[in-house]
Amino acid sequence: MAKLYTNENVPLPVAEELRRLGHDVMTVQESGLGGQSVPDHSVLTFAIDQGRGLITLNRRHFVKLHEATPGHPGIIVCTTDSDFVALAARIDAAVRGTPSLAGKLIRVNRRH
């Protein structure tokens, strides 16, 4: 399973469901960086230092960071979805379908 890090805007139930699905997930709150308005590039640097793919709802900024930082361990950008279990299932499917997250930008969109 994947080693993942959730940005502050990812709801805790998504992280909990990903854990239930077998992923190793660290939240920004668990890292001690929660509630500090940490800049996006610092969030990505932390994920890189930890060797964890980053999950975020902040698509615009992290797509730009993906382009500027090719050596990252993976960035998963998601659309907002109040069905947290469904969002986690889509993230899980995207991650399981990718042999390595390293350097990849994965888009997980809400189903309409």
Q: What is the pLDDT of residue 17?
A: 98
State how many domains the chain has. Answer: 1
Are 109 and 87 contacting, i.e. CB atoms less than 8 angstroms apart? no
Of 37, 14, 36, 9, nearest in space to 25 by CA: 14
> Phi first, then psi: what are they for 56, rounded to 5°?
-145, 155
pLDDT of residue 108: 96
Higher pLDDT, 19 or 32: 19
Rounded mean pLDDT of 81-102? 94
- CATH classification at residue 57: 3.40.50
Task: Report residue 4's pLDDT band, with 50, 70 and 90 as the boundaries.
Answer: very high
Q: Residue 37: left if φ>0, alpha if ψ -120 to 50, beta else—which one? A: left
Domain holding 79, by residue range, is: 3-108
> Using one digit for the tens of pLDDT, what is the confidence trace for 24-62?
999 998 988 777 888 999 999 999 999 999 999 999 999
